[in-house]
């Protein structure tokens, strides 16, 4: 008797449960508030609050149907567990504010069995700011850079005119072949790479978010001491989002080649100097000081150099600039990014490091024509031999005096300054 009653009760409960299940909707209590919004970032009814309840685990889409019947998806088939939801919507779909008009909002839920239910209502958009920011005259120049501080194509300029004030601007490079940047198909909306190389705008009066002309000077970060991104093809991205939520992206390409921090030294810091007449460091007026040194490129990128060439003779009243004039060779003047070995001395009241030389003989270097000019490089791992002669035409104000070597990276740094300091004396036979 008892078991039979129990079975009947159980069956009744099961039937009730099934009935309840069938009759309870997937989505309930859906609403949007307010039903008119003005998405223009003026702080007044810019966003609507969308509330709804999911009663069984479902895939939920939220979209807006315009007067032409076109669907604009805000959420698409997102997996949702059973609970209450509340989300804000400011009129933005895929980075663009929808234009003014009457829309039908739809919240659509589908369960695992393929049952689909909808809740819907009306929302009106007025005074919508659909004026997306624009980057006019966006340009990346040149398209290939060699960020290695040799003064040739070390930097790219990225320029554009921003048409309106925005909330946020981002400018960055990314490597499209980097697995870290693989597109996640689960994440909707604009592609957003994970590993970025952000660019900083030059300091200037106009903030990056203000309308007007903007200029980024990109050197791979090398002047700040960072190693540039490894050689390869990169995508340059500039993106902005205005206060209403309009999002604009422009892209271009930039190739990095031979990028890296140049590194070179005077080998063992050694500079051999002597009076070739008798091998000491006492030099009669009109006599010579000869020197030799070896330079090694121990970095990963070529270093650029220029004459005067090893073997060049300087008078002590000359310097590399006067020699450049005398020889009519403008590559001998100071040049940004050029490496030269040089001698400097105490009480030298002229040009700093007046006696400059290429960091090797021609046979130590690789020379090629670039933009119509011959350029010479000491390649990574190579050594260059430097030697030369200084004829002392007079007695310096300080005598005896110290003289030493240095490795100049012109307009960047002096390396190995005070290498092998030695004291020499100029002898005046009249005294």
Where on the chain is the footprint of Ca ion (CB under 5 A)? 38, 40, 42, 44, 46, 146, 148, 150, 152, 154, 275, 278, 280, 282
The rounded distance, in Å, linking the Cα atoms of 146 and 370 is 13
100/178 with CB nearer Ca ion: 100
36/347 with CB nearer Ca ion: 36
The rounded distance, in Å, linking the Cα atoms of 245 and 258 is 40
User: 117 is written with which tokens?
Assistant: 């239910």
44/371 with CB nearer Ca ion: 44
The rounded distance, in Å, linking the Cα atoms of 10 and 425 is 116
Q: Which residue carries 């978010």 as its tokens?
A: 209
205/430 with CB nearer Ca ion: 430
- In the complex, the smallest distance separating the C-beta of residue 411 from Ca ion, rounded to whole angstroms, is 13
61/146 with CB nearer Ca ion: 146
214/241 with CB nearer Ca ion: 241
- In the complex, the smallest distance separating the C-beta of residue 242 from Ca ion, rounded to whole angstroms, is 13
- In the complex, the smallest distance separating the C-beta of residue 278 from Ca ion, rounded to whole angstroms, is 4
Nearest to 423 by CA among 396, 406, 404, 397: 404
Rounded to 5 degrees, what angle do the CA atoms 285, 326, 407 make?
Answer: 70
- In the complex, the smallest distance separating the C-beta of residue 298 from Ca ion, rounded to whole angstroms, is 18
- H helices of 291-365, where? 320-327
- In the complex, the smallest distance separating the C-beta of residue 279 from Ca ion, rounded to whole angstroms, is 7
CB atoms within 10 A of CB 311: 11
- In the complex, the smallest distance separating the C-beta of residue 73 from Ca ion, rounded to whole angstroms, is 23
Give the phi and the psi of residue 314 in degrees, each rounded to 5: -105, 140
Q: Dihedral sign, CA of 219, 222, 223, 226?
A: positive
- In the complex, the smallest distance separating the C-beta of residue 148 from Ca ion, rounded to whole angstroms, is 5
Residues paired with residue 93 on neighbouring β-strands, in sequence order = 96
Chain center to CA of 295: 32
Find the helix or strand (DSSP H, E) in which 289 lies.
Answer: strand 288-297
- H helices of 249-405, where? 320-327
102/280 with CB nearer Ca ion: 280
Nearest to 274 by CA among 293, 288, 295: 288
């Amino acid at each position: 008797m008892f078991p039979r009653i129990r079975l009947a009760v159980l069956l009744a409960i099961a039937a009730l449960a099934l009935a309840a299940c069938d009759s309870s909707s997937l989505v309930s209590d859906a609403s949007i508030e307010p039903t008119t919004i003005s998405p223009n970032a003026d702080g007044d009814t810019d966003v609507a609050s969308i509330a709804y309840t999911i009663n069984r685990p479902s895939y939920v889409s939220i979209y807006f149907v315009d007067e032409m019947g076109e669907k604009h998806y805000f959420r698409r088939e997102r997996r949702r567990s059973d609970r209450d939801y509340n989300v804000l919507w400011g009129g933005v779909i895929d980075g663009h504010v929808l234009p003014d008009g009457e829309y039908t909002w739809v919240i659509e839920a589908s369960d695992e069995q393929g049952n689909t239910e909808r809740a819907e209502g009306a929302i009106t958009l007025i005074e919508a700011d659909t004026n997306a920011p624009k980057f006019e005259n966006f340009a990346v120049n040149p398209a290939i850079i060699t960020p290695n501080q040799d003064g040739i194509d070390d930097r790219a300029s990225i320029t554009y005119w921003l048409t309106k004030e925005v909330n946020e601007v981002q400018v960055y490079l990314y490597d499209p072949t980097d697995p870290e940047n693989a597109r996640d198909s689960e994440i909707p909306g604009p592609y957003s790479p994970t590993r970025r190389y952000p660019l900083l705008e030059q300091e200037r009066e106009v903030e990056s978010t203000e309308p007007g002309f903007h200029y980024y000077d990109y050197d791979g970060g090398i002047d700040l001491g960072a190693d540039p991104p490894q050689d390869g093809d990169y995508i340059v991205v500039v993106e902005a989002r205005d206060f209403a939520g309009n999002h604009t992206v422009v892209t271009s390409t930039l190739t990095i080649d031979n990028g890296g921090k140049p590194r070179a030294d005077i080998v063992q810091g050694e500079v051999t100097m002597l009076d070739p007449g008798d091998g000491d460091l006492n030099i009669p007026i009109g006599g010579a000081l000869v020197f030799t040194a070896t330079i090694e490129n121990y970095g990963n990128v070529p270093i650029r150099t220029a004459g005067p060439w090893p073997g060049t003779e300087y008078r002590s009243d000359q310097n590399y600039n006067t020699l450049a004039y005398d020889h009519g060779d403008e590559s001998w003047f100071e040049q940004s990014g050029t490496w030269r070995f040089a001698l400097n001395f105490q009480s030298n009241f002229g040009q700093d490091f007046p006696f400059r030389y290429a960091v090797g003989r021609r046979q130590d270097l690789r020379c090629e024509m670039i933009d119509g000019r011959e350029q010479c490089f000491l390649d990574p791992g190579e050594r260059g031999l430097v030697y030369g002669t200084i004829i002392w035409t007079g007695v310096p104000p300080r005598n005896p005096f110290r003289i030493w070597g240095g490795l100049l990276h012109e307009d960047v740094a002096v390396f190995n300054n005070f290498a092998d300091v030695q004291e020499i004396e100029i002898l005046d036979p009249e005294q």
